[in-house]
A and B are shown apart, each in its own frame.
Chain A
Amino acid sequence: MTDATTASAPPQPQRLQLLRVLGPVHVWALGVGIVLVGEFMGWNFSVAKGGAMGSLIACWVIGLLYTCVAMIDSEVTSTVAAAGGQYAQAKHIVGPLMAFNVGMYLVMAYTMLEAADALVVGDLLHQVAGQFGYAMLDPKPFVVLTIAVLAWLNYRGIFATLSINFVITAVAFLTIVVLFFALKPWDPTAALHHKELLTGLPYGWIGVIAAFQFGIWYYLGIEGTCQAAEEVRSVGRSLPLGTMTGMITLLIAASLTWYVASGLVPWQYLGQASVPLFDTARLTGSRFLEVFLFVGTLFSAVASANGTITDAARAWFSMSRDRYMPQWFGAVHPRFRTPFRAVVFLVPVAVSFAFTGLLDQVITFSILSGLLGYTFMSFNMIKFRKQWPLGSIKRAYTHPFHPVPAITLMALCITTYFATYLGYGSQLLAMMGFYIVASLWFHFHRYKYVRRADQFTMPWPRPRLSR
């Protein structure tokens, strides 16, 4: 048997399952590996929108948004532990069209992040080549090479892929810590110049709100840990442990990153840099730190691209297995047990967007898809508690203060849509146009190929619904 999900043979042949090989370390590596690149690039566009102080405020406020996401996701994921993460949640709690959209949010958020990662690899090599007198180096071959090699690794198997991710993510995180201590934070005036470089709020408070858009980039993707739920050995232990340690890692890394970069780089330069931490290292005058942060930036971008290929392919695979997308993509490789067709299909999309060279705009598409997913989480939580009240089904974790986190999350999402409207309004409308057309296509065409009751696989009682 080579293809477990071919379209033409009811009754269905037995499905090949994904291998359960991952532990908490891999979950940490998957979550942090995807997100850590956000400390090496992208977060600094929030400085362009609201100044360095505005970026710091955005980092904290958006940290609150992600705290709500973590609280909500921990409860729902501990109950719906299946590949596809939020996609599987939407199928069981809101409905098929919502699930299709959530699946697309995941695919687009991760594929655009993959494109941004590859773009940064190309930009970094171009910049370093320029320093050595080879300013004409074309970054495009490196973009293609990065995506192709990582797609091949993902094609071959998730265990080796995420084991490599663990090592390179750990090295990338170490480079931030080393940079921080090399700048003697215990003596803030020795190497850093916050007093001279921090300029207050250049656009006032509206700039702070505008900065929320890229504040998302400090953390975007941490919720991706639950994408691999079906491949985790002990879901109840590994998922919360890997996600929580990942979130702590990111909070530390975000604080260190802002502190060192804003203390060395003028805010207008910082706001447009494609590799801000590498530039920060250049300004220290230490060749060792420059090389070390070159390695850190490269490793973080590669680790992130690696994790995003894993997650995007699994979301696409889950949708195809449910026939939300053509079934051909729902095949598991007979030898490597990976969603190999889904891995390959998304490669040209990532390459195309990486080739534009428009890092802030590619990132914006990723942010918007993530933001739509967080908006879903807010009303999904309300529906989840309403349809299955506490005590009606087994929950491994129940978050406190319901519905405060859901309402706070919704309010912060609405504010972040407004933040995106400020400066990136046409991209916001383009993204919505994409999801509207895709939704119409699914509802009026694609859904006819979907088996109805097969979408509900959890052993739960009938939901409480008002008709």
Chain B
Amino acid sequence: MAKKPYQPPVQSKGGQIFDSFFILALVYAALLTPLLLGLGASNGATKHQTAPTWESLHQNTTMAQQWEKLGYTPKTAAPIIEQQFDYSINYGYLLLTIVVIGGYFFFMLKASRKEYLEVIDEKFGDDSH
């Protein structure tokens, strides 16, 4: 026999507005703020040359020609060419990332299962006895 259906409370208009703004605020606080504070991509250090040439920037003749067709000189191209990613691994930071992602999925699957069993029991009847 199916369980007595759960009757959810009715949410007020004010509650709906608050929930909508909560999600908006969360998007802005968690995602937009780090971008605006420059905490997004972590490129490595840039080596600056005072008087770069295509040779010192390790650009062959064809590369230099293409840069020039795009409107660049060695001086204006240097900041782009010298920008490098730093792939050295910070193991503490990596471990933190693994724990956060793993913890997120662990909690979500655990809580989802609890909620799912309620759904199934109400839909098909309690099967636990």
Contacts and interface: CB of A to CB of B under 8 A. Distances in A.
Contact of A453 (B5, B59, B111): B5
B66 A452 contact: no
Given A48-B85, A326-B20, A452-B122, A365 B31 contact: yes
Contacts of A462: 120, 123-124, 127
A11 to B, nearest CB: 12
Contacts of B93: 425
A443 to B, nearest CB: 5
B11 A326 contact: yes
B45 interface: no
Contacts of A465: 117, 120, 127
A68 B108 CA distance: 23
Contacts of B5: 451-453
Given A352-B28, A422-B85, A432-B104, A96 B35 contact: no
Contacts of A439: 104, 107-108, 111
B34 to A, nearest CB: 5
A191 B107 CA distance: 55
A130 to B, nearest CB: 9
Interface size on B, as a range, is: 35 or more
Given A326-B16, A426-B42, A437 B30 contact: yes
Interface string A269-296: 1001000000100110100000000000
Contacts of B119: 95-96, 452-453, 455-456
Given A206-B87, A441-B22, A266 B67 contact: yes
Contact of A96 (B72, B87, B116): B116
B63 A196 contact: yes
A349 interface: yes
Contacts of B16: 7, 326-328
A101 interface: yes
A397 interface: no
Nearest to A50: B85
A438 B30 CA distance: 10
B50 interface: no
A190 to B, nearest CB: 14
Nearest to A420: B97
Nearest to A267: B63
A323 interface: yes
Interface in B17-40: 17, 19-20, 22-24, 26-28, 30-32, 34-36, 39-40
B70 interface: yes
Contacts of B9: 448-449
Interface stretch (A15-23, A237-245, A251-259, A354-362): A354-362
Contacts of B104: 432, 435-436, 439
Closest 3 CB pairs of A and B: A95-B112, A95-B116, A326-B16
7 contacts: A264-B66, A283-B66, A325-B20, A326-B16, A353-B32, A423-B42, A448-B9
Given A268-B77, A429-B100, A433-B100, 19 more contacts: A95-B111, A206-B87, A268-B80, A272-B80, A272-B83, A323-B8, A325-B23, A361-B41, A417-B97, A421-B94, A427-B41, A430-B34, A430-B39, A431-B30, A432-B97, A438-B26, A439-B107, A448-B8, A455-B119
